[in-house]
Structure 1
């Protein structure tokens, strides 16, 4: 069995432009991190704090066994969600109702990790409290913060990030080569070269280039914004206009400008160089958080001076002027504002008196987005909608924050948070969903249909966190409202949530009764999503009660509905639990096939809870087949997995886990069992999935996939084998003496050809083909 055990994930963005200079600062930060638990990089906006932090993190990542993680805070406007945001960045999917800080502390307590808190200045107190709390309990944790001012906590080591080095003014006329090695000049030259490929510092332009860098005080953001102007200006024209601009701003003073004033002056200049419509669009897109797509800009920012069809050209203009940053995602192109640029636009929007109106339009766009996602969730576009909502998470938070803080907006906020019900669950954001619903419900005491529905959704999230007391109270009020308003759809949901609660609490007979009621009610109002939900758990209840024939009928009906709609998420859960029934009936091959399909369907959602359940079932199957070594390894892996998703396993399935562990320990003996368990504990999440999926099928039941001709080229096959061995892209490139980017391109082609989403799936595919080849090879000596 090939076990894929990859190093911990490094959640750092790729550098899309070169990193220039900062040799001494990089050395200093590394030295500080070796002795201090918290290192804060301070400095004005645009001085390069984030780039420095990311470069240091990339350099030291091998020193941190449990990974290096970036937490971007610029788009976070709600201090109460700081801990949730950090947990999300660290990929902690805890479904319990425990306080988020408790979950985060437990996760990091024994971790050797580096966490970057980027852009702390607007959450300074909250970041300081969090950092101090974490370092007190996690001795091997290091925090690298960027902020315009220190956090101000005990033991904090600060480094004021200076501008890039300017040419030595004591040297009368350095050579062109020496000048070009100065950090500020080198950055200008490299960014200018991106605009004008033939650009170089020469004897003819050296004085102008040096003058530009001095005028901008060596501030990286200022230099990068200025270099873009070379599309239209010569170097001398650029310097002349900088001189004029700054002289005007300082009433003729030739004194060196304060850095923040220099940067503001440059952004002011960038603003005046835009057309009237480009300025208007710059102001309006500042209401978005975490970026936006073209369609969003067209919907929210058009009208009152900008026609919808003009948006695309204005976006191109702002990209050309480096106001908007263009970024490629699998779902399409998005645009992002640097935080300094965004805040400038927001200030201008506020001064114009249009901020509240634009925030309402942004809120309306978010509400329309989640409403469409909810309407189309049960269908072929489900993965697309999930991916899209995941990409717009920061914007959705901004819209909910507006509804919570602006007068008269609570009902709209309840509607948005309620429409996100499937997203909260599929993305593992149970706690965050309740964090929005609780204050919205508290803020609006008015009896309404929206309130009844929101209470029911909140109760559902509470049940999934095993917070049954809170759920019962909310269901009671929701039922009263639904009856009063004649809301049959919500009454059906209440029956479903009540049945789910009974199932989780192992009251199987009551669960079956309530879920049967829910099924009838959902059919009566033609709610197919609710019908599938009810069928899935009603079948589970009957399976646990030993009513196999009834359970199989319900499972098959549910699967048929999902398959008719080309749906993924519900289908994955049905397959996972249906597999348990098949295994109990002795149909092991079908059970393994179902779990494998369930894992494939869950991976686009990164559904840790659902994937953990699949690994559980595969462990039980392994023990049932006598493969106790594999079962013990999976049980070891599951200890960490359940902890990461806020386990434990749902109560109605806990008996299978206990039985598996007891049987496996008995057959292996304590010593072998503990050794295999320890091996499993060391597996990554992907490694556990690969281990689960590579269990041998019974003789004669090899998958058809293994028998098909390989669609890969010889080179791609070679790289796939290295992926299966757990090599990183860098290691693959070194092994084959090719560029890392070439290796990455090959892996993208492999994933595309095989229709896969992860490297673990490649490893499984390679393992299947290798085993098929071994089975067909004649024995030695024949």
Structure 2
């Protein structure tokens, strides 16, 4: 009996692997026989226990013991026995997947793992039989590195991959769920990033999740892990922490130091020194720095003593190795003995494991010059990597040259890590180094002074360059930002804290807002702006221009997260009043833009048109051609939404005919999106309404291409939802509509644009409905539109389709409840461009309801739709209404007048004859021949 590399000979109870007989105990042999018979299929635990123990009841740990014995016999090939969590076991075929072949975000190893083979095998084995394992031990013991190696080894065993959530840079525990969702690429709307929702999305997943550096956010991590273990049965969790997570079912694996020889036991006559992993690590790291570093009997004895004195801690050994190159082994050993004697008091017993790294750092810190000590403490204020500019600035009290010299010295001593990112150098402290150094900084009493410097540096770096249209650093510079958002948030927290400086906080909030908006951090931006405004309201020394900037930033954040229109309007009204008070034309334009958006969101298109016209007057007076282009866009959108498509086209074509580099220029009118892309999308809708379906398609495609060429996710989502998806639907090209929907779904999820995720879900329902799946389509439309704002014009087409689907399902009350309010609002606030569509849909619903007066009432609505579309010069809507009227007239047996009308409407078209509506019109007209 054979499977792949496994062979079982029942007669002699012999197990052969790769042609070699492997001795096995009785239960282990019975186990492998069952697995070989399954030929690679999964065998349930209950079946294995029934067959191996012949029906005798045993505990599950008996099976685990048998599996462990079998794996031990296979040695390095133990991976071929796969554990399927909570289900059973199976043999894995000969072709082993590439170590990083599955879905993952694991970093590639930068060096060999030294001295952890046994720990790697043991911990991996535990992970195969338990769903929650915590690697615990002293700081610097190597928990992170071992965790990553375990994840790499087990990656092939998890169909949904292995994922690292690095919590080291998180300073606010409330961000843990967001960072987890982001790392796991989970799609969820803003406001729903909770442990329970994350666990729900993980429920069907077979994934390994590594939570790294948990100790500083342990309470939040514990709640998140508990939710996952209770909800996601096939998810396995590995954590690294200096203390247990404290969740039920957790198995601890305590990591001890690397192996070191006992005093006097080192045999120098052979290669045995290298059998001790601590010595191997020390020598490896020394030789990486200086490949000519001398090794002889004396130095090997000293190295063994040093490693023993350091308790085999990998980080401490690496720090010592770095110093050995400059001090020499003998001097290093002497200093180490002198420095550690007071705190150790003897071998191991007087050195509690949680204090080991502290002792190592105290020693390492004492080896630094006074200037280097001060530099290390100051650099600890930064979270993660920073540029040389930022690093030097926080140290520059003693001069730039001295600062650079200190940083170079710390790099040479392996206390600062230098990294090349996109051709630019960045510098960071290891998390353990930073934690130690930060505590030293607090001890000096200079924490607030250095924190102030950090806040000032962040503010100055963010305001030093020329602003782009959004007032922030250009995209080419964003990838090389001098400070990370984590540092900005840290500086803001200090500024608004009890010992901070609120004025700096306000200035930093203003400077950071555009960057946060560019990075789709609208909610974070809003949080800090709200705090700044609250403080500004209580202080008398806050400048009006700062208050104005804050309201402008708040408005932009509110528009981005699609906050209620009333809140947006109030914010921009305050901004406009301050802008007028300070005669600031730039901010008057920004405020008018925001007020126009608020009117859009309230479907008050008369007001939006009035504001857009005022905006254009101000923009023309400012002499800013970019601001004027923004005015053309606002005016074009307002005209289109008021049903004046021909006039809208004139405004939009002014933008498209302008310079292609428009959105690369500084402007006093700051936008969240690429205006050419949005202009193309609005032009597509206007062209469709004007009866040019082929040109509408080309404009929709141009909109998508423009947004993609600028790599701007928000602009792309606007292009897809405003133009590409609806145009493909109107044309009847459901394949193209699905293609664009997939793009929208992907980009909105990747960039956490919840508003467009809702739109995508609703549009998917429309597609399913159009393809005949009424039930599923209605379910998706109902779910999506329930989250959309009732008056949002951007959902008009989707609501019309939803109403029609409800009618097809026989739910006429619900269908009319969708259509009637839209018609009422359109008649009250302006000639909504989609009003003819809703009038026509209402007529179709009346016919479907099939009451006695249905034909006459439906005809009245169809004629109203025709009249409205004709007044708007909306040939697209006019054609659809004419088709509905002609179909009704044919059914009534008196089609002549309606067919004549349809003939006249169709004759106005000069293109798009293969589109669904024109094909339908031709088919109807053929019946009169």
What TM-score, normalized to structure 1? 0.74
My pick for the range that moved more, 247-256 or 459-468, is 247-256
Shift of 1:624: 6.6
> Shift of the alpha carbon at 1:590?
5.4
For 1:245 and 1:71, the matched residues in 2 are separated by 37
CA distance in 2, matches of 1:528, 1:612: 26
What is the Cα deviation at residue 150 of structure 1?
A: 1.5
2:444 corresponding residue in structure 1 = 352
- Is 2:488 the partner of 1:382? no
Whether the 8 Å contact between 1:46 and 1:221 is mirrored in structure 2 is yes
Q: Give the deviation of 1:326 after TM superposition.
A: 0.7
8 A Cα contact 2:137 2:353, kept in partner: no
Q: Secondary structure at the match of 1:351?
A: helix
Instruction: Find out whether 1:455 has 2:551 as its counterpart.
Output: yes
Secondary structure (helix, strand or coil) at the match of 2:218 reads helix
Corresponding position of 1:167: 261
Looking at structure 1, the residues matched to 644 and 611 of structure 2 have their Cα atoms a distance apart, in angstroms, of 17
Deviation at 1:356, TM superposition (A): 0.8
Q: 1:313 aligns with which of 405, 411, 427?
A: 405
Q: How does 1:540-559 map to 2 (within 5 A)?
A: 540-545=637-642, 547-558=644-655
SS in 2 for 1:213: helix
2:669 counterpart of 1:563: no
Separation in 2, partners of 1:565, 1:372: 20
1:601 aligned to 704, 710, 718, which one? 710
Q: Which residue number in structure 1 is paired with residue 384 of structure 2?
A: 290
Please report how far the alpha carbon of residue 360 of structure 1 lies from its aligned counterpart in structure 2 after TM superposition: 0.7
8 Å CA contact 1:286–1:343 kept in 2: the answer is yes
Q: In the alignment, is the contact (CA less than 8 A) between 1:201 and 1:209 conserved in 2?
A: no
Cα deviation for residue 302 of structure 1 reads: 0.6
User: 2:496 is matched with which residue?
Assistant: 404
Structure 1 counterpart of 2:517, from 407, 425, 428: 425
Cα distance change of structure 1 residues 129 and 358 upon mapping to structure 2, 3 Å threshold: same
**Secondary structure, in 3 states, of the residue corresponding to 2:239?**
strand
Q: Give me the whole-angstrom Cα distance separating, in 2, the residues matched to 1:379 and 1:405.
A: 27
Going from structure 1 to structure 2, the CA distance change for 1:466 and 1:379 (only over 3 Å counts) comes to: closer
Alignment: residue pair count: 660
Alignment partners' CA distance in 1, 2:126 and 2:761: 47
What displacement does 1:563 show? 0.8
Tell me how far apart the structure 2 counterparts of residues 480 and 396 of structure 1 sit (CA, whole Å). Answer: 30
Q: Is residue 188–residue 223 contact of structure 1 (8 Å, CA) maintained in 2?
A: yes
Whether the 8 Å CA contact 1:193–1:200 is kept in 2: the answer is no
Contact 2:652 2:683 in 1 (8 A): no
Match of 2:844 in 1: none
Between 264-273 and 334-343, the greater mean CA deviation after superposition: 264-273
Once the two structures are TM-superposed, the CA of residue 24 in structure 1 deviates from its matched residue by 3.0
Contact 2:340 2:363 in 1 (8 A): no
Counterpart of 1:333 (choices 416, 425, 444) is 425
Closer, same or farther: CA 62–622 of 1 in aligned 2, 3 Å? farther
Q: Distance in 1 between matches of 2:305 and 2:282?
A: 11
Task: Tell me what 1:435 maps to.
Answer: 527
* C-alpha separation in 2, matches of 1:496 and 1:637: 29
Structure 1 pair 515–150 and aligned structure 2 pair: CA distance change class (3 A): farther
| Residue in 2 that maps onto 1:45 | 139
Q: Is 1:374–1:420's contact at 8 Å kept on the other side of the alignment?
A: no
> How far apart are 1:31 and its partner, in Å?
3.7
TM-score under structure 2 length normalisation: 0.63
Give, in angstroms, the shift of residue 465 of structure 1: 2.1
Check the 8 A contact 2:207/2:236 in 1, yes or no. Answer: yes
Partner of residue 762, structure 1: none
1:573-604 CA-to-partner distances (Å, cap 9, x unmatched) read: 532551463474423445434422421311xx
Q: Superposition pairs for residues 21-60 of structure 1, below 5 Å?
A: 21-60=115-154
Q: Which residue of 1 aligns with 2:611?
A: 514
SS state at 2:374 partner: helix
Per-residue deviation at 1:399?
1.0
Q: Name the counterpart of 1:83.
A: 177
1:574 aligns with 2:574: no
Larger radius of gyration: 2
Shift of 1:428: 1.7
C-alpha displacement of 1:246: 1.8
- Alpha carbons of 1:216 and 1:461: their partners in 2 closer, same or farther (altered >3 Å)? same
Paired residue secondary structure (2:754): coil
* Distance in 2 between residues matched to 1:172 and 1:528, nearest whole Å: 80
Greater shift in the superposed pair: 325-334 or 403-412: 403-412
Secondary structure in 2 matching 1:302: helix
State whether structure 2 residue 328 is matched by structure 1 residue 234. yes
Which whole-Å CA distance do the structure 1 matches of 2:102 and 2:660 have between them? Answer: 35
Shift of 1:466: 2.6
Q: Compute the displacement of 1:226 (Å).
A: 0.7
Q: Which whole-Å CA distance do the structure 2 matches of 1:252 and 1:575 have between them?
A: 71
For structure 1, the residue ranges without an aligned partner over 5 or more in a row are 1-5, 675-782
* Contact preservation (8 Å) 1:562, 1:570: no
- How far the C-alpha of 1:129 sits from its partner, in A, is 2.4
Counterpart for residue 214 of structure 2: 120
Q: Name the Cα RMSD after superposition.
A: 4.0
What's the CA shift for 1:147? 1.7
